[in-house]
């Protein structure tokens, strides 16, 4: 599928000939199916910009949010930049557009794992939220209900755990490799486990009319003596790649290549991400199947060290090793990607 860059419209609006404003776009394919809005994209000390992506089939009012490190704040920033302007809202309401999106457009949360940089926004926004399902692997939902929404750290917002339940969120345990339809939407989702240090993370495949987005929570590289979770994931989604139906992969590269093996904390470096994508090409039957595949790179670690720009460094290292023709894009907060 050919790729086409549109003009980069960061932090400004494009004016049409009719004098109207269009919603800002950071990247658009020639025939997009999905909209991805980056509510938060980083890891580390940037607590207002942590992993959270809204995915919506274009032309619908049905969205899901993959991880919620930054949620309400991310929606407010997106609204301020006009990124949410294409989403239909109820007229004559006292709610802001961000509030409408949270309460009406978002149909479910897909939580990859329960680390705080992936769930903090859900906790803080929950008093203002409307009832929704939380889709996750059983072990993740267990942590949310027992250790987070447990009446001690935060209110019992879910429908299980300590009593009395507030019951705003319904925990939907997913079985790896089995597709489910999200309630009140035309979206199908499938989950696969990922290895992430001492916990289990998750990859979610989001499908709409046979087209798909793949979102990966934090993951480490497959190890020779450990689970081959990435390899098994690639085997599962290879048919979509071969048919050109996988629109984009959202995946992390947390540290630059000089990060020692013993300090990765279950994350990937550019060289690890590239090696895994080469394995995807092998599983698909040749690198030609993944040439031009879009990968939106997330979860770059921010620290207090004054050692340059980690996003630029990781992008440069990805490009330097990119012998497989992957179309890498570094995720930016409040950016809108049409894929």
Q: Using H for helix, E for strand and C for coil, what is the string for the chain? A: CCCCCCCCCCCCCEECCCCCEECCCCEECCCCCEEEEEEECEEECCCCCECEEEEEECCCCCEEEECCCCCHHHHHHHHHCCCCCCCCCCCCCCCCHHHHHHHHHEEEEECCCCCHHHHHHHHHHHHHCCCEEEEECHHHHHHHHHHHCCCCCCCCCECCCCCCCCCCEEEEECCCCCCEECCCCCCEEEEEEEEECCEEEEEEEEEECCEEEEEECCCCCCCCCCCCHHHHHHHHHHHHHHCCCEEEEEEECCCCCCCCHHHCCCCCCHHHHHHHHHHHHHHHCCHHHCCCCEEEEECEEECCCCCCCHHHHHHHHHHHCCCCCCEEEECCCCCEEEC
- Note the pLDDT tens digit of each residue in 248-275: 999 999 999 999 999 999 999 999 999 9
Of 84-93, 122-131, 185-194, which range is least confident? Answer: 84-93
Closest CA to 249 of 210, 285, 186, 298: 298
- Note the pLDDT tens digit of each residue in 224-251: 999 999 999 999 999 999 999 999 999 9
pLDDT value of residue 21: 56
Task: Enumerate domains of the chain plus CATH numbers.
Answer: 38-338 (3.60.15.10)
State pTM to two decimals: 0.93
């Amino acid at each position: 599928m050919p790729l086409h860059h549109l003009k980069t419209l960061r932090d400004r609006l494009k004016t049409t000939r009719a004098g109207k404003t269009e919603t800002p776009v950071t990247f658009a394919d020639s025939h997009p199916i999905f909209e991805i809005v980056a509510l938060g994209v980083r890891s580390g000390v940037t607590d207002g910009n942590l992993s959270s992506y809204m995915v919506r089939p274009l032309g619908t009012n049905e969205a899901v949010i993959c991880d919620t490190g930054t949620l309400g704040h991310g929606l407010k920033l997106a609204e301020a930049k006009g990124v949410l302007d294409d989403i239909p809202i109820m007229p004559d309401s006292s709610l802001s557009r961000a509030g409408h999106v949270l309460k009406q457009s978002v149909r479910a949360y897909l939580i990859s794992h329960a680390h705080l940089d992936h769930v903090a926004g859900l906790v803080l926004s929950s008093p203002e939220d409307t009832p929704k399902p939380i889709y996750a692997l059983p072990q993740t939902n267990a942590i949310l209900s027992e250790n987070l929404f447990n009446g001690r750290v935060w209110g019992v917002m879910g429908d299980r755990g300590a009593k009395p339940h507030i019951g705003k969120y319904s925990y939907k345990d997913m079985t790896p490799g089995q597709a489910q339809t999200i309630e009140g939407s035309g979206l199908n989702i499938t989950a696969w486990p990922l290895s992430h240090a001492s916990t289990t993370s998750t990859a979610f495949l989001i499908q709409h009319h046979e087209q798909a987005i793949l979102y990966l929570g934090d993951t480490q590289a497959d190890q020779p003596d450990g689970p081959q979770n990435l390899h098994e994931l690639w085997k599962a989604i290879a048919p979509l790649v071969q048919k050109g139906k996988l629109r984009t992969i959202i995946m992390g590269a947390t540290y630059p290549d000089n990060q020692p093996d013993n300090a990765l904390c279950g994350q990937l470096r550019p060289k690890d991400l590239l090696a895994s994508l080469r394995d995807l090409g092998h599983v698909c039957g040749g690198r030609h199947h993944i040439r031009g595949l879009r990968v939106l790179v997330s979860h770059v670690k921010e620290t207090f060290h004054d050692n340059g720009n980690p996003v630029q460094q990781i992008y440069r290292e990805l490009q330097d090793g990119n012998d497989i023709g992957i179309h890498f894009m570094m995720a930016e907060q409040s950016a809108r990607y049409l894929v």
